[in-house]
Amino acid sequence: MSEFSIIGKPTPNVDGPAKVTGEAAYTIDMTLPNMLYGKLLRSPYPHAKILSIDTSKAEEFPGVKLIITGKDTPGGKWGLWRRFRELSDQQALATDKVRFIGDPLAAVAATTEEIAEKALDLIEVEYEPLPAVYDPIEAIKDDAPMVHEDFPSNINATRHIEWGDVDKGFAEADYVREDRFVLEAAHPCAMEVHNTLASYDKGTGRLTVWTSTGSPYFVQQNLAEALKLREGDIRVIKPHVGGHYGGKNSTMPDCVNAAILSMKTGRPVKIVFNRDEEFTTTEHRTAQHMALKLGLKKDGTIVAFEAKTITNGGAFTGLGATTLYLTGTFITMPYKVPNYRFDGVRAYTNIVWGTSIRGFGAVPSKYCAETQLERAAHDLGIDSLEIRRINAVAPGYEAPGQYKFESCGIQACIEKMAVRVKEKWPKVEKDAGIGYCAFAYMSGGIFNWIDTPYAYSSAHVKVNFDGTVDLYSQAADVGQGHNTVAAMICAEELGIGIEDIRLHMGDTAHAYTDLGAWGSRETLMNGNAIKDAAGQIKQKLIDIARLKLGENIAYDLVAKNKRVYLELRPERGLSYYDLVKDAIRANDGVPLTGTGHYTPHNKGMISPAYGMGIMAIKAKVDRETGHVEAQDVLVVHDSGQIINPLGARGQVEGSIHMGLGYGLCEEMPMDQGMLLNPEFVDYKIIRTRDMPEIEILDVPTYEPNGPFGAKEAAEATIAPAAPALANAVYQACGAEFFSNVLKPEKVLKAIKEKEKKDKEGAKPKTTSKAKGK
């Protein structure tokens, strides 16, 4: 808005010059003198006992420097659910048995990558295959093979959420319907694969790690546990990261094994996954089953809602247990649900594990809830937008014991959508339809299963004699543009320019803790910490200006446009640069410093703030081939006060692209635990020709918990894309979907079912029951 000098102005990426010239260094681009290359030997079986491993032939191969197996590792287990030790289930190398195809069981360090790969072929392993389980419903049966023997069952985590009186709610409903869904997995597909460069200093016993991660802090914690070192003896540096999308939260075997190999050889070691390893052994969006029961009044008001899910967790926990919990909360947003019950189970299975991929919790759950709501609206003869409008929350809405919306522009978003849709698509052609989905998503998580004893976010600001500013934080730019946002917030608070800020981000040795880039947390949480730190320095400058100006104490002073001046009499003020010099002189020559932090308190269980809005997609169906074309996207979005409109648009565009992929083409078919499409040739990502144009309208609000009123913009818009698309197809031809990925064969089948149903007449649906009252 006009009161800001920098916030809200389209600002090109501060990393731009480095990224368009090829100078930006990613971990994958880095080497160190005397460096060795590491490779991991991976299991070909989904579940098998390791009877023996013979590395002798491989060790003799010229260029091989070291081979380790499970017994050579420090043996520490790690995970992101540190608060519950039994869920710290990851290990460097499998010891007794392998749990999925790709589970690593030996690591090689060699002088070249080629030699390391050849050595893998020479390692002889004797396995005893065990019965395996791939489906979560099978996995929780009593006679299912156990994935972790030291765990009571294959139930990895459960979650129950309830408020109101659900049974009473359903009894009062005029209309109740039940639907079952099967959601398919999807891979984050970061362009830079997981990779790590580790360097151990024999003299000091300290380890430095460069790795492609979203959270240097998580890596530091996890490495300390895996290697049985002190956290403080491990330094983690996050260079530029070539894509994250939630797939780089967990510390993976590349990182831990590179560290172990470096500690044992005394030389730097680098491990880079190939694309096949990336697909088959790194985390993906969890496949799951879901059953929903929705109770409405005749006018469409939601009176009761019940959700049950069982997720295909895979072999380890990751942030999958968090995903389960968030599934149970985001599925209700942004609607008033007076009576609600959720039961979720995450099952261990013999596949690679699922976790916190972009929009986690919301993406599968909103697909189910919003396609169900659409069918209910159709049955009751209520307009698609109207049913969303009458149920949408208002500012101050609270889901008992779970979450509360402070800033909340959803009603204004729906109203704006209603107007714009009529202008944009006055007529819809044959076999085309418009589908809607309302959405909300967190601005950083409140839950603390990582069990950090530190503030959630911290920042340190140092102002030098010449007025330049050094900003230190562990916060991670993973492409989302947080470096730009951080510089903008710091510059706005100090009243200076972005060109005055030097960023030192993502290094555990330089800054206090920030939990990293996940759950859309950096803008709000790290932004608050930066504003706090910079604000402390601003106050020092204002104090000195007050002394020097000698004005009436009733006047307020502001820092803006590189000056500190009286708010009501801007001509009376002093230069920022002069004030800095005075302040440092007055401080015995010590540069001005401020250390800020942010930890949410008393803001519910989920998040201090929620981005929200509504999306409409116009899609066309080819009844002959079943091909669905997403023709046009319109989204009305409340992100509070947007910090950088350029970056925010990038986040929304990118989210919709990934969300459409979830709805149209991305899938991970497996056979006996083996992924069938572990390459970009077969794993279909939407390319530019199939990408519709996107119109984004903003409904600005002021979020009291965010820096300058800001909240998330990075993830809310991924979840609505697939359900809006499915709803558009439903509007176009009546085809109903109970699973994502609208491949032509699935669409043709759904159209046939619809035609069959029409022929049979207007009998009530098997999946729903209309209750007369």
Partner 1 sequence: MKRELNIAVNGESYNFFIEPKTLLVQVIREMLGMKGTHQACDSSSCAACTVIIEGKAVKSCSILALQVNGKEVTTIEGLADGTNLHPIQQAFIDNWAFQCGFCTSGQIMAAKAFLDENPNPTREEIQMQMDGHICRCTGHNMINEAIQDAAKRLQSRDAAKRLPAQKKLQPQKWAQTAKSGKGA
693 contacts partner 1 (rule: CB under 8 A): yes
Between 144 and 718, whose beta carbon lies closer to partner 1? 718
Give the residue, chosen from 17, 205, 400, 764, that forms a contact with partner 1 under the rule CB under 8 A: 17
252 contacts partner 1 (rule: CB under 8 A): no
295 contacts partner 1 (rule: CB under 8 A): no
**Nearest distance, CB of residue 15 and partner 1, angstroms:** 7
**Nearest distance, CB of residue 169 and partner 1, angstroms:** 39
What residues have CB less than 8 Å from 772, skipping those under 6 apart?
A: none
- Cα(710)–Cα(32) distance, integer angstroms: 41
User: Which window, 138-146, 596-604, 667-675, 687-695, contacts partner 1 (CB under 8 A)?
Assistant: 687-695
- Cα(243)–Cα(478) distance, integer angstroms: 6
What is the DSSP secondary structure assignment for residue 692, as one 8-state letter?
A: P
Distances (CA, A) of 671 to 184, 311, 350, 641: 14, 18, 12, 47
274 contacts partner 1 (rule: CB under 8 A): yes
Between 194 and 388, whose beta carbon lies closer to partner 1? 194
Give the residue, chosen from 4, 5, 15, 411, that forms a contact with partner 1 under the rule CB under 8 A: 15
Give the residue, chosen from 89, 192, 532, 715, that forms a contact with partner 1 under the rule CB under 8 A: 192
237 contacts partner 1 (rule: CB under 8 A): no
Amino acid at 769: K
Give the residue, chosen from 102, 104, 188, 435, that forms a contact with partner 1 under the rule CB under 8 A: 188
Give the residue, chosen from 60, 84, 504, 680, that forms a contact with partner 1 under the rule CB under 8 A: 680
Between 345 and 656, whose beta carbon lies closer to partner 1? 656
469 contacts partner 1 (rule: CB under 8 A): no
**Nearest distance, CB of residue 14 and partner 1, angstroms:** 7
2 contacts partner 1 (rule: CB under 8 A): no
**Nearest distance, CB of residue 69 and partner 1, angstroms:** 26
Say if residues 612 and 602 touch (Cβ distance below 8 Å).
no
650 contacts partner 1 (rule: CB under 8 A): yes
**Nearest distance, CB of residue 724 and partner 1, angstroms:** 15
Q: Which residue has the tokens 């990582």?
A: 450
Instruction: Tell me the site size for partner 1, rule CB under 8 A.
Output: 67
**Nearest distance, CB of residue 27 and partner 1, angstroms:** 11
In 215-319, alpha helices (H): 216-227, 253-265, 275-281
In 587-667, alpha helices (H): 645-664
691 contacts partner 1 (rule: CB under 8 A): yes
- Cα(766)–Cα(179) distance, integer angstroms: 10
694 contacts partner 1 (rule: CB under 8 A): yes
Between 53 and 630, whose beta carbon lies closer to partner 1? 630
Cα Dmax for the chain: 88
243 contacts partner 1 (rule: CB under 8 A): yes
Q: What is the x/- site pattern for partner 1, positions 492-531, by CB under 8 A?
A: -----xxx--------------------------------
- Cα(714)–Cα(486) distance, integer angstroms: 15
653 contacts partner 1 (rule: CB under 8 A): yes
656 contacts partner 1 (rule: CB under 8 A): yes
753 contacts partner 1 (rule: CB under 8 A): no
Rg of the chain taking only CA atoms, in angstroms: 27
681 contacts partner 1 (rule: CB under 8 A): yes
User: Which window, 63-71, 331-339, 476-484, 509-517, contacts partner 1 (CB under 8 A)?
Assistant: 476-484
Cα 237 to the center of its chain, rounded Å: 20
What is the DSSP secondary structure assignment for residue 714, as one 8-state letter?
A: S
User: Which window, 155-163, 253-261, 478-486, 548-556, contacts partner 1 (CB under 8 A)?
Assistant: 478-486
Q: 87: closest CA among 517, 451, 519, 456?
A: 451
Distances (CA, A) of 11 to 16, 246, 495, 564: 11, 25, 16, 24
Concatenate the DSSP letters of all residues of 96-125 into one string: SEE-STT-EEEEEEESSHHHHHHHHHH-EE
Give the residue, chosen from 7, 14, 140, 296, that forms a contact with partner 1 under the rule CB under 8 A: 14
- Cα(550)–Cα(537) distance, integer angstroms: 20
658 contacts partner 1 (rule: CB under 8 A): yes
What residues have CB less than 8 Å from 589, skipping those under 6 apart?
A: none
Between 309 and 644, whose beta carbon lies closer to partner 1? 644
Footprint of partner 1 on residues 18-77 (CB under 8 A)? 18-26, 28-29
- Cα(184)–Cα(667) distance, integer angstroms: 6
Footprint of partner 1 on residues 328-387 (CB under 8 A)? none
What residues have CB less than 8 Å from 474, skipping those under 6 apart?
A: 216, 217, 458, 505, 506, 507, 508, 510, 511, 512, 513, 514, 516
481 contacts partner 1 (rule: CB under 8 A): yes
User: Which window, 17-25, 256-264, 377-385, 405-413, contacts partner 1 (CB under 8 A)?
Assistant: 17-25
204 contacts partner 1 (rule: CB under 8 A): no
- Cα(578)–Cα(562) distance, integer angstroms: 10
546 contacts partner 1 (rule: CB under 8 A): no
DSSP H or E segment with residue 579 = helix 576-586
Footprint of partner 1 on residues 570-599 (CB under 8 A)? none
273 contacts partner 1 (rule: CB under 8 A): no
Between 614 and 660, whose beta carbon lies closer to partner 1? 660
**Nearest distance, CB of residue 680 and partner 1, angstroms:** 4
Between 258 and 656, whose beta carbon lies closer to partner 1? 656
- Cα(6)–Cα(16) distance, integer angstroms: 18
12 contacts partner 1 (rule: CB under 8 A): yes
SS3 state at 369? helix
Phi, then psi, of 751 in degrees rounded to 5: -65, -45
Phi, then psi, of 57 in degrees rounded to 5: -65, -45
Between 15 and 233, whose beta carbon lies closer to partner 1? 15
**Nearest distance, CB of residue 10 and partner 1, angstroms:** 4
Q: What is the x/- site pattern for partner 1, positions 142-181, by CB under 8 A?
A: ----------------------------------------
What residues have CB less than 8 Å from 68, skipping those under 6 apart?
A: 93, 106, 107, 257, 260, 261, 264
Give the residue, chosen from 35, 108, 161, 190, that forms a contact with partner 1 under the rule CB under 8 A: 190
**Nearest distance, CB of residue 375 and partner 1, angstroms:** 29
- Cα(380)–Cα(235) distance, integer angstroms: 59
DSSP bridge pairs for 346: 157, 311
Strand pairing class (284-285; 398-399): unpaired
Concatenate the DSSP letters of all residues of 721-767 into one string: HHHHHHHHHHHHH----SBS---HHHHHHHHHHHHHHHHT-SPPPTT
242 contacts partner 1 (rule: CB under 8 A): yes
Instruction: Note the residues at the interface with partner 1 (CB under 8 A).
Output: 9-26, 28-29, 188-193, 240-245, 274-276, 478-481, 497-499, 645-650, 653-658, 679-681, 685-689, 691, 693-694, 696, 698
